Amino acid sequence: MSIRVAVINTNLINYERANKVSSKTVLITGGATGIGRAIAQRFADNGYSVALTYHTSQLHAQKLVEQLRNKGVDACCYQLDVSDYLNTVKVTTEVINRFKHIDCLICNSGIACVNMLSSTTMSQYDSVMDVNMRGVYNCCKAVTPYMVDRGSGSIVNISSVLGLDGCSCESVYSASKGAVIAFSLSLAKELGASNIRVNCVCPGVIDTAMNGNLTVQERDDLSKCTLLGRFGTVNEVADTVLFTAEASYVTGTTISVDGGLSI
């Protein structure tokens, strides 16, 4: 009898773990691959329900959601072009309807543009600004009314060290990321009275697919530009994002995750 009871209790515990309801929900844009994927996994490991968006990486997003659900995490994904405000509002509403609240918003969607200014087209400029800056604006504008109503919330916008220091041949990208920083610091002042914190995390040279086209020599040269002598990992960025999202007395701050980068 005692053995049978032990088995029943174990099955009950496993059922509860597989069907647990989290009291915290995070919405992560660009959460299917790279840094966004690592952020989703880190928040899931720390008790959050996870809603993530993707633009074109549907299979990656669906696979990640399946992996999280297999761990007992309530997770889902949505296709979203963050530069489209109406669709951003639609997805936000769907997330609220499903999870009832959004405790953390992580704006991670972004695209790069490596080109001399003389060769940069207006189309490239518009695309970078639409995703990197307008996307952050759209997501924050869509989510903050819910956070204000609840009287709490945390927003972490993923910028870049190039938004702080700039970089040759990446003037447009740097400008978009600098705008994200200024926007975030201003929004922190606007929303502080509503107990909503807004911060920026600025990754440096991180080992992601975006840097996959670098030659061995280019990687070595960039590594030597950091005090730690290496590229950062997506998990190191995710750790910082989680800390920033949960640090209850941190707002209006920009945190660099760059290994002491100096370009």
Torsion angle defined by CA atoms of residues 211, 212, 216 and 217, in that order, rounded to the nearest 10 degrees? -30
Amino acid making up residue 39 = I
- What is the per-residue pLDDT across 132-160, written as a single tens digit (0 to 9) for each? 999 999 999 999 999 999 999 999 999 99
Percentage of the chain surpassing pLDDT 70?
92
Answering whether pTM is above 0.85, one says yes
* Catalytically active residues, by annotation: 173
In this predicted structure, the answer to whether residue 215 has a pLDDT above a threshold of 80 is yes
Better-scored residue on pLDDT, 74 or 214:
74
In this predicted structure, the answer to whether residue 3 has a pLDDT above a threshold of 50 is no
User: Residue 222 has what pLDDT?
Assistant: 92
**Which two structure tokens, joined as six digits, stand for 59?**
């299979």
Flag whether 77 is in a domain: yes
Report strand pairing: 104-107 vs 75-79.
unpaired
Q: How many domains does the chain have?
A: 1
Which backbone phi and psi does 252 adopt, to 5 degrees? 65, 30
User: Residue 22 has what pLDDT?
Assistant: 57
Q: What is the DSSP string of the chain?
A: -HHHHHHHHHHHHHHHHHT---SEEEEETT-SSHHHHHHHHHHHHTTEEEEEEESS-HHHHHHHHHHHHHTT--EEEEE--TT-HHHHHHHHHHHHHHHS--SEEEE---------GGG--HHHHHHHHIIIIIHHHHHHHHHHHHHHHHT-EEEEEE--THHHH--TT-HHHHHHHHHHHHHHHHHHHHHGGGTEEEEEEEE-SB-SGGGTT--HHHHHHHHHTSTTSS-B-HHHHHHHHHHHHH-TT--S-EEEESSS---
Flag whether 227 is in a domain: yes
Give residue 235's domain range: 2-257
**CATH code: domain of residue 20:** 3.40.50.720
Flag whether 262 is in a domain: no
Least confident among 17-31, 84-98, 125-139, 210-224: 17-31
In this predicted structure, the answer to whether residue 6 has a pLDDT above a threshold of 60 is no
Flag whether 247 is in a domain: yes
User: Residue 166 has what pLDDT?
Assistant: 77
Mean confidence (pLDDT) of the chain: 90
Q: What angle do CA 239, 243, 247 make, to 5 degrees?
A: 180
Flag whether 263 is in a domain: no
Mean pLDDT throughout 3-18? 38
- What is the per-residue pLDDT across 17-54, written as a single tens digit (0 to 9) for each? 444 445 899 999 999 999 999 999 999 999 999 999 99
Flag whether 98 is in a domain: yes
Mean pLDDT throughout 76-93? 98
Mean pLDDT throughout 161-170? 84
